[in-house]
Amino acid sequence: MKGRGLVFLMLGVSFLVASCPAGGWVSGTGAVEVSRSVVDRMNEFEYYNIMRGDGSLDMGPSAKGGSNLERGVSPGTFSLSYSGDVPLVGMKRIDKGSALAGTKTTIQESFSAHEIEKEETTSLGTQLVGTDTKLSFNGTYVTTSNRHQIFTSDVTSRQVFSGTFDIQKQIIFGSITDLSPSITIAVSPTESSAVVGGVVTRYYEVANVGPVPVQGLVLVDSRAGPVPLSKVVLNPGEVATAESSFVVNLEDLPGPLNDAVRATGSDLQGNAAVASAAANTSLAGSRGLNLTAIPLQGCAGAGEALAFIYIIENVGDRPVGGLNLTDSFGGPFAVYGTIMPDGTLNLTRDGTLPDTEIYAPLTITVSISGIDSTDDLVYASSAVVLRPC
């Protein structure tokens, strides 16, 4: 243990608070999930500690076997050693006093590390709160402390280390709100354009901009739905990425598509972290055409011939040419000619059904596309349901 940081916020006689959630010595390899909380309302004291990981762990009082605890008081110093491919994520918080009484002191510690060696003494008395810590780690470590005295002072200290460190004393003054989890989300492109049948691809970045780890991250795009993130646990300063794609459908016209993107997560205490963004897509083309499909038979049978009359109407205010029609039984074909505004074009389409028995109603879909005189795409579609013969 090379680095040492000592923080005392108030003066007085102290006693020691056990940091080991189990109260005894633990040694082994495997999944780790431990927690401890102490609430002493008579003495205006609250203590919370939680850790999760999967690796090799040794922890407990510095003197092994010293597990005699009474109301959270321990006669020794807490030690922790951990290594693993999965980071050990932990959080500890101590509250002493109350704002109503005029003085409240808070110390919070959080970390996420693949390797950590820690020895810590937490001191607490009627007029003292402090921690004496020796720490070596590979990961991220954050401490925040605050002392509030009504009408007198409000002092906050925050220390952040990310990398491979032996702790050295460093104090950064900030705000008590720095204790809350915070994330941001960026989506690109925020503005795009597409045509019906085209594919829109979006890229996302979710960043942890707060002082504590955030877990259980979920990203939802209102157009694409839930989007898997590259990480669901972020240490302070880390970023998770994601990508989604969707096809623009005829039903999306005339647009634009105004979509909401939302990311949610929480810290180890369950405090929510939420971020939102927007992504907009304008669509080329309009509903400048109407399409009506009229079947010349009342039912569909195996190997039977089909015939339809398609009525194409230009309901826009520009001439439309370059027409292409597609139906689900005959495929695409070109339609020659131009339809003027308020004009109509009638087509007859023949085909034959596959030589397979039909036991359920058969849906025939038809779509028409064209280009108007301003080079905008226009579309229309229709569907007909035939009962089995």
**At 250, phi and psi to the nearest 5?**
-60, -35
pLDDT attached to residue 180: 77
pLDDT attached to residue 105: 80
Together in a domain, 43 and 173 = yes
pLDDT attached to residue 276: 96
- Maximum Cα interatomic distance, the chain, rounded to a whole number of Å: 98
Q: What distance in Å separates the CA atoms of residue 250 and residue 232, rounded to the nearest whole number?
A: 35
| CA–centroid distance for 132 within its chain | 36
pLDDT attached to residue 11: 30
Q: What distance in Å separates the CA atoms of residue 206 and residue 204, rounded to the nearest whole number?
A: 7
pLDDT attached to residue 170: 41
Low-confidence winner among 147-151, 192-196, 207-211, 381-385 (lowest mean pLDDT): 147-151
User: 8-23 in b/e burial notation, b at 16+ Cβ within 10 A?
Assistant: ebbeeebebbbbbbeb
Residues of the chain with pLDDT > 70: what percent? 80
Model's pTM, two decimal places?
0.44
The residue out of 118, 151, 179 marking a domain boundary is 179
Residue with tokens 């470590």: 141
pLDDT attached to residue 231: 94
Higher pLDDT, 243 or 123: 243
The most confident of the ranges 35-44, 139-148, 164-173, 209-218 is: 209-218
Span 272-282, mean pLDDT? 94
**107-121: per-residue pLDDT in tens?**
888 899 999 998 877
pLDDT-derived band of residue 73, with 50, 70 and 90 as boundaries?
very low
User: What's the domain range around 263?
Assistant: 183-284
Together in a domain, 101 and 194 = no
Q: pLDDT averaged over the chain?
A: 79
Contact (CB, 8 A) for 350 and 385:
no
Together in a domain, 165 and 192 = no
First and final CA of the chain: distance in angstroms?
85
Helix (H, G, I), strand (E, B) or coil at 208: strand
Together in a domain, 28 and 154 = yes
Together in a domain, 59 and 109 = yes
Together in a domain, 163 and 207 = no
pLDDT attached to residue 16: 37
Span 246-273, mean pLDDT? 86
pLDDT-derived band of residue 285, with 50, 70 and 90 as boundaries?
low
| CA–centroid distance for 65 within its chain | 43
Contact (CB, 8 A) for 294 and 205:
no
* Domain CATH code at residue 193: 2.60.40.10
The residue out of 221, 252, 284 marking a domain boundary is 284
Does the pLDDT at position 87 exceed 70? Answer: yes
Together in a domain, 165 and 227 = no
pLDDT-derived band of residue 17, with 50, 70 and 90 as boundaries?
very low
Span 149-174, mean pLDDT? 67
Task: Output the DSSP codes for 230-245.
Answer: S-S-B-TT-EEEEEEE
pLDDT attached to residue 46: 85
Does the pLDDT at position 371 exceed 60? Answer: yes
Q: What distance in Å separates the CA atoms of residue 260 and residue 281, rounded to the nearest whole number?
A: 12
Together in a domain, 167 and 235 = no
The residue out of 227, 249, 284 marking a domain boundary is 284
pLDDT attached to residue 89: 93
Span 248-271, mean pLDDT? 86
Residues of the chain with pLDDT > 90: what percent? 29
Q: Could you tell me the two tokens for 93?
A: 């918080």
Number of domains in the chain: 3
Q: What distance in Å separates the CA atoms of residue 61 and residue 67, rounded to the nearest whole number?
A: 7
Low-confidence winner among 16-25, 72-81, 195-204, 234-243 (lowest mean pLDDT): 16-25
Span 147-152, mean pLDDT? 70
Together in a domain, 37 and 141 = yes
Together in a domain, 45 and 155 = yes
Does the pLDDT at position 5 exceed 90? Answer: no
Span 308-319, mean pLDDT? 89
Q: Could you tell me the two tokens for 371?
A: 């280009």
Q: Can you say whether the dihedral through the CA atoms of 71, 26, 142, 271 is positive or negative? A: negative
Higher pLDDT, 147 or 187: 187
Q: What distance in Å separates the CA atoms of residue 325 and residue 386, rounded to the nearest whole number?
A: 20
Q: Is 373 left (phi over 0), alpha (psi -120 to 50) or beta?
A: alpha
Together in a domain, 160 and 268 = no
**At 212, phi and psi to the nearest 5?**
-130, 155
Other C-beta atoms closer than 10 Å to the C-beta of 246 total 19
41 contact partners, CB below 8 Å, separation of at least 6:
none
Q: What distance in Å separates the CA atoms of residue 57 and residue 116, rounded to the nearest whole number?
A: 10
pLDDT-derived band of residue 66, with 50, 70 and 90 as boundaries?
very low
pLDDT attached to residue 128: 53
Pairing of strands 344-352, 26-40: unpaired
Task: Output the DSSP codes for 20-48.
Answer: -TTSS-EEEEEEEEEEEEEEETTTTEEEE
Cis before 319 (ω within 30): no
Contact (CB, 8 A) for 310 and 346:
yes
Together in a domain, 81 and 153 = yes
